[in-house]
Structure 1
Amino acid sequence: MSLRALCARLPPEVIALTRSHLARSRSLATAAAASTGTSKTFYATTPIFYVNADPHVGHLHSTLLADIYARHARLRDPSKGAVMCTGTDEHGLKIQRVAEARGIAPKDLCDGVSERFRELAQAANIDHQVFIRTTEARHRTAVEHVWRELQQRGYIYKSSYAGWYAVSDEAYVPEAQVGEVIDPKSGDKYMASTETGTRVEWMEEENYKFRLSAFKDPLLEWLSSSPNPVQPSSRTTALVASLANPTSTDLNDLSISRPASRLSWGIPVPGDPQHTIYVWIDALVNYLTAAGYPWRGGEAFEKGKLWPPDLQVVGKDIVRFHALYLPAVLLALDLPLPKHLLTHGHWTMDKFKMSKSRGNVANPFEAMQLWGVDAMRLYLMRVGGNSASDADYSATEIERFYRKDLAGQMGNLLSRVTAKKLVKKLEAPELMYTMPDRLAKEDEALLALLRDLPGSFDRHLAAFDVHRALAVVFDALAESNRHVQLLSPWLATASPSDVHRALFFGSETLRLSGTLLQPFMPTKATQLLDMLGVDASRRRWVDCAVGEGGARSAPAAGKVHLWPAVAVPEAVVQ
């Protein structure tokens, strides 16, 4: 049905609002862009994680992406500031049933698992400013305010609904995406989503609906804007193509409540306690709650300081909720839309998405304890930094990355340029950080890489190619190791110029790498820059130019390995 035909069935006040949104969709995009200027604090969010099970590596991946971009924003512009928000999603039928099965209160279940996500953030050195829980009073206030605003504006109405419901996904599944499945072990037959494989059950109920269908054109216009708000752009293309399909149900009016008789664990509908607000509407409001909504005064963040998000990080399986439902609600509330939605792939093991039910979940706490926090931060971003595709978790690959890239490239270069025997061969200590007056042909390739490194690194991050940002750093480290090997300053026949150029360019490569990688490996970057004697005040983005690191202090005495050997149990890498 066309939007014109649909509008003919809507109340007059909704028709007027819908036309208003169509006319204002461009101005809202302009307002959002303006609000993400230098006067606004950078705001990055993770999805809030469902507390039906302990966190796994996939949860850590999402959190790291938001953390790294927030840290990078602070590095690029310390005066602007950055706020990162993460947290837990604690309502819904799934939580209610898990709690019932364990014989405990839902809140007790939520308290325990939510604390595990806090512990993960702490263990991974996540620099979050807000940890939001949907069971908090401030969040309930925000959700109730959103409901009342939508209702007053004519976007909520009561209706009956019948369809297949996936409790695991907390969502209705279109009948065209449901099929019969036979359990290979028991032989039992059941209905399941053909898209996700999750079991579904038939439900018929009266509930409230949100007029999502009224926002088709403004949503399509927003999704089609340049640069694409949903990244990587391939997901924008797929989403727009799906919406253009005449049989698409993605923008049908959305059921946004459940009967309290079936779902009691949630926020009651304001004015109608017989209904509970749909968990996804509840959850999506968390980003507003964390930003201080409804901005009545006295909250941590006043209106205009954080909203809209500069970056929202979500897994590819919840794109529809964040690229359609949340923007539609924001349009209905006359709030600016998020600037970027980064939709990353999944971590798999044996090519299957990690899940507790499959038993193929990598424990992030154990991995960080074995390999170290910063090594795992780098590995997950290097291997999983291509958000357009999934990444397969492999202990063997972690071992190879640690040994070859971290210890073999970064660690080896550091050992070379800080070796006392080589440092003593410099004609003066300050030559370690002083650009040579004369360069040779063998210096050209490395110098070109170093001069382009900050800009290239930044461009890749801006394009959300995190893996490529890290690749250019390790390419520079590899070239610098080759350069040192070529000049061989340890040889008795090495000239003073060879020694100077080898140590200067090796040291500069490490200084620039350490400065750029501060968001990725905050502890190891500090250790690296300390070992190089780089002053704490010269570790800024503006210092990322060849030869602009300033004077250095003498490195601390004693041999310390940046990436020491790890005793890996044989079973781990088999």
Structure 2
Amino acid sequence: MRLTLRLLSSVVQRRPFYVTTPIFYVNAAPHIGHLYTAVVADAIQRFEKLIDPDCNVIFSTGTDEHGTKIQQAAAKANLAPQEYCNKISEEYRTLFKDFDVEYTDFIRTTEERHKKAVHHFWKKLVKKDYIYKAKYSGWYSVNDESFVPETHVRDELRNGEQVKVSLESGHVVEWTEETNYMFRLSAFKTHLQEWLKNDGVITPSKFQKHLVDMVQNEAYFPDISVSRPSSRVHWAIRVPDDEEQSIYVWLDALVNYLTVLGYPDEDAMIKRGRPWPADVQVIGKDILKFHGIYWPAFLMALNWPPPRRLVCHSHWTVCGAKMSKSCHNVVSPRLEPAPAPALRYMLLREATMHDDANYSQTKLINIANSELADTLGNLGSRCCGAALNPRGEFPPLHATELGELRPGVASELMDCVEALHEICYNHYTNYQFYKAVDAVIHTLHVANLFFESHKPWELRKKPECQKELDVILHITMETLRISAIILQPIIPQLSEKLLDKLQIPKDSRSWQHCVTPSWRVQGAIYETKNIQGGKFVLFPRIYTDKKQKKSVSA
């Protein structure tokens, strides 16, 4: 209900729906964890457009290209920093295109428009006296590009050497003493506590509770360094009027969400419909502190509202361990022989947001084969194929024959289909994509059982049973139509392919078109029509063994 009211309000005010991913750090090539963040945000914006086709969506993503790690990665690759950033940033663009991530804006922190926005933001903070210069000392993590409080550092033995590491990330920290510009974070503790009293501002609730605990902990609220000496970090945006200091990479990066909207050009922001505050910002749990404490505090300092909601997800692991280059367990999204729709489906189907999900190629292939190729794809092929449907129709629903269907699985299927839109709407609005997919797959399992139990291949041999066959095919195809509409945020490419096969008009694929009246009372929604001709394979099974593929084909 809250989402529906917000949507109505947005339409009345002609305000866009603004969703973001974090901008991705280009110190290495993208892996499936980065892709997961992007497809979560994409599924959210696709659902918004599904329930409100007239909704103006701004969906921003991009790359974070400054900092010590970028300097080091570029040097290791024997490339100039800008050339290196261009290369990795383009890899993200290509990846998102291949996985149907339909962003409207792609921002890079090395762009001039972003430098202008960061300088303006910095000067505003200085003018309001929230930035001051001071000598600073503390534990600094190069990997995290951040200082770590003394209370969040522990001793650890690594490779026979005693080192200090961050409790949060596990990365090595080094003692640093330097003159920096500081931000008065301590001034915003009460404001952040008030913001976090709003239920649902961080979802899942587990992460809101975690953030509340962080805000109550004094260790997180010393004033924070927002610059580094440019002699240490030369690949960065310089502090206005002070070439000896570089702006802290996280302050630089966070401003990207405003740069996208045209900030600081007021006319440009008005032209885009004044989309701030962002409706949804999708982040990983490892950057919750930066988006749930630093970012809102920076905004509050300028009297800007914080984002309406942070959707925080857990990690993808391999054999229970977090992916990292040092562990040599990073999974590239370019997975052979699995096609892009299979990986996108598994990422959204398996992960629960609040807990880490474990990746394995065996799991990916098994899920894709059993659910995309068999449960969904094979059902579509059978009811659309010439053997059972030689007329190539989405056949009529005959009232008499519908009433004569055997009770049991037929009634169960119709009940499942009629309830599916409401069940999935609730799951989507809570960003529980796996539960929405569960509900659809359960309905498709019932549809397959319904299909098998009524033996349409035997009815096909009896001309006098044509109307009964029509009913079986109609109910099955109607189940596929509704399932395909609901699955559009999850597998847009495959959903479109199935809806095209059923010849569902482009303007009849919104959420309202899967709200099904009772067939037993009002009859069919779709009258008899032709479907797309030709052989139909929605999703070919994945084979890891070429010999196995040949034997199956034979």
| TM-score scaled by length of structure 1 | 0.87
Asked if the contact 2:196/2:208 (under 8 Å) is kept, the reply is yes
> In the alignment, does 2:191 pair up with 1:238?
no
Query: What is the alpha-carbon distance in structure 2 between the residues aligned to residue 509 and residue 251 of structure 1?
Result: 54
1:475 equivalent in structure 2: 442
1:22 equivalent in structure 2: none
2:520 equivalent in structure 1: none
Distance 1:552 1:337, change over 3 A: farther
Asked if the contact 1:91/1:134 (under 8 Å) is kept, the reply is yes
Counterpart pick for 1:331 among 292, 300, 303: 300
Query: What is the alpha-carbon distance in structure 1 between the residues aligned to residue 44 and residue 404 of structure 2?
Result: 36
For 2:203, the aligned partner's letter is Q
Asked if the contact 1:534/1:552 (under 8 Å) is kept, the reply is no
Counterpart pick for 1:343 among 312, 323, 327: 312
Residue 242 of structure 1 and its aligned partner are, at CA, apart by 3.0
Residue 225 of structure 1 and its aligned partner are, at CA, apart by 0.6
> In the alignment, does 2:289 pair up with 1:320?
yes
Residue 348 of structure 1 and its aligned partner are, at CA, apart by 0.6
Asked if the contact 1:543/1:549 (under 8 Å) is kept, the reply is no
Query: What is the alpha-carbon distance in structure 1 between the residues aligned to residue 333 and residue 399 of structure 2?
Result: 42
SS in 2 for 1:423: coil
1:157-168 map, 5 Å: 157-168=132-143
Distance 1:479 1:37, change over 3 A: farther
Query: What is the alpha-carbon distance in structure 2 between the residues aligned to residue 98 and residue 127 of structure 1?
Result: 29
Range with bigger deviation, 313-322 or 415-424: 415-424
Residue 269 of structure 1 and its aligned partner are, at CA, apart by 0.9
Residue 170 of structure 1 and its aligned partner are, at CA, apart by 0.4
Residue 552 of structure 1 and its aligned partner are, at CA, apart by 5.9
Residue 551 of structure 1 and its aligned partner are, at CA, apart by 4.1
1:493-508 map, 5 Å: 495=465, 498-508=468-478
> In the alignment, does 2:527 pair up with 1:562?
no
Asked if the contact 1:345/1:388 (under 8 Å) is kept, the reply is yes
Asked if the contact 1:36/1:42 (under 8 Å) is kept, the reply is no
Residue 71 of structure 1 and its aligned partner are, at CA, apart by 1.4
Residue 390 of structure 1 and its aligned partner are, at CA, apart by 0.7
Distance 1:126 1:433, change over 3 A: farther
For 1:237, the aligned partner's letter is K
Query: What is the alpha-carbon distance in structure 1 between the residues aligned to residue 221 and residue 9 of structure 2?
Result: 28
Asked if the contact 1:35/1:304 (under 8 Å) is kept, the reply is no
Asked if the contact 1:192/1:198 (under 8 Å) is kept, the reply is yes
Asked if the contact 1:308/1:336 (under 8 Å) is kept, the reply is yes
Residue 553 of structure 1 and its aligned partner are, at CA, apart by 4.1
Percent of paired sites with the same residue: 38
Query: What is the alpha-carbon distance in structure 2 between the residues aligned to residue 434 and residue 376 of structure 1?
Result: 42
Range with bigger deviation, 434-443 or 233-242: 434-443
1:396 equivalent in structure 2: 362
Asked if the contact 1:88/1:133 (under 8 Å) is kept, the reply is yes
How many pairs does the alignment contain?
532
1:376 equivalent in structure 2: 343
2:396 equivalent in structure 1: 431
Distance 1:531 1:562, change over 3 A: same
Over 4 Å off, 4+ runs: 30-38, 432-437, 492-498
1:19 equivalent in structure 2: none
Query: What is the alpha-carbon distance in structure 2 between the residues aligned to residue 446 and residue 33 of structure 1?
Result: 33
Asked if the contact 1:514/1:526 (under 8 Å) is kept, the reply is yes
Residue 290 of structure 1 and its aligned partner are, at CA, apart by 0.7
2:433 equivalent in structure 1: 466
For 1:514, the aligned partner's letter is A
Range with bigger deviation, 260-269 or 163-172: 260-269
Asked if the contact 1:425/1:499 (under 8 Å) is kept, the reply is no
SS in 1 for 2:210: helix
Distance 1:408 1:316, change over 3 A: same
Counterpart pick for 1:194 among 167, 182, 185: 167
2:501 equivalent in structure 1: 531
For structure 2, which runs of at least 5 residues remain unmatched after alignment? 517-522, 548-554
Distance 1:66 1:289, change over 3 A: same
Distance 1:274 1:478, change over 3 A: same
Query: What is the alpha-carbon distance in structure 1 between the residues aligned to residue 103 and residue 524 of structure 2?
Result: 31
Query: What is the alpha-carbon distance in structure 2 between the residues aligned to residue 58 and residue 402 of structure 1?
Result: 19
Query: What is the alpha-carbon distance in structure 2 between the residues aligned to residue 452 and residue 81 of structure 1?
Result: 29
Asked if the contact 1:179/1:194 (under 8 Å) is kept, the reply is yes
SS in 2 for 1:261: coil
Residue 518 of structure 1 and its aligned partner are, at CA, apart by 1.7
> In the alignment, does 2:356 pair up with 1:356?
no
Asked if the contact 1:266/1:277 (under 8 Å) is kept, the reply is yes
Distance 1:399 1:221, change over 3 A: same
Query: What is the alpha-carbon distance in structure 2 between the residues aligned to residue 32 and residue 545 of structure 1?
Result: 19
SS in 1 for 2:178: strand
> In the alignment, does 2:124 pair up with 1:154?
no
1:107 equivalent in structure 2: 82
Query: What is the alpha-carbon distance in structure 1 between the residues aligned to residue 391 and residue 81 of structure 2?
Result: 68
Range with bigger deviation, 211-220 or 529-538: 529-538
1:486 equivalent in structure 2: 453
SS in 2 for 1:447: helix
Residue 55 of structure 1 and its aligned partner are, at CA, apart by 0.3
Asked if the contact 1:51/1:113 (under 8 Å) is kept, the reply is yes
SS in 2 for 1:364: coil
1:20-59 map, 5 Å: 39-59=14-34
SS in 1 for 2:266: coil
SS in 2 for 1:483: helix
2:42 equivalent in structure 1: 67
| TM-score scaled by length of structure 2 | 0.90
Residue 569 of structure 1 and its aligned partner are, at CA, apart by 4.3
Distance 1:103 1:71, change over 3 A: same
Query: What is the alpha-carbon distance in structure 2 between the residues aligned to residue 89 and residue 151 of structure 1?
Result: 24
Query: What is the alpha-carbon distance in structure 1 between the residues aligned to residue 7 and residue 447 of structure 2?
Result: 43
Asked if the contact 2:133/2:182 (under 8 Å) is kept, the reply is yes
1:217-232 map, 5 Å: 217-226=190-199, 228-232=200-204
Residue 549 of structure 1 and its aligned partner are, at CA, apart by 5.2
SS in 1 for 2:59: strand
1:212-291 map, 5 Å: 212-226=185-199, 228-245=200-217, 248-291=218-261
Query: What is the alpha-carbon distance in structure 1 between the residues aligned to residue 366 and residue 133 of structure 2?
Result: 58
Distance 1:36 1:139, change over 3 A: farther
Asked if the contact 1:178/1:191 (under 8 Å) is kept, the reply is yes
Counterpart pick for 2:60 among 80, 85, 106: 85
1:181 equivalent in structure 2: 156
Query: What is the alpha-carbon distance in structure 2 between the residues aligned to residue 333 and residue 77 of structure 1?
Result: 33
Q: Deviations over 1:461-514 (max 9, x none)?
A: 111111111111111111111111222222248955642332122111100111
For structure 1, which runs of at least 5 residues remain unmatched after alignment? 1-29
For 1:222, the aligned partner's letter is W
Residue 151 of structure 1 and its aligned partner are, at CA, apart by 1.1
2:95 equivalent in structure 1: 120
1:27 equivalent in structure 2: none
Query: What is the alpha-carbon distance in structure 1 between the residues aligned to residue 345 and residue 398 of structure 2?
Result: 27
Residue 570 of structure 1 and its aligned partner are, at CA, apart by 8.3
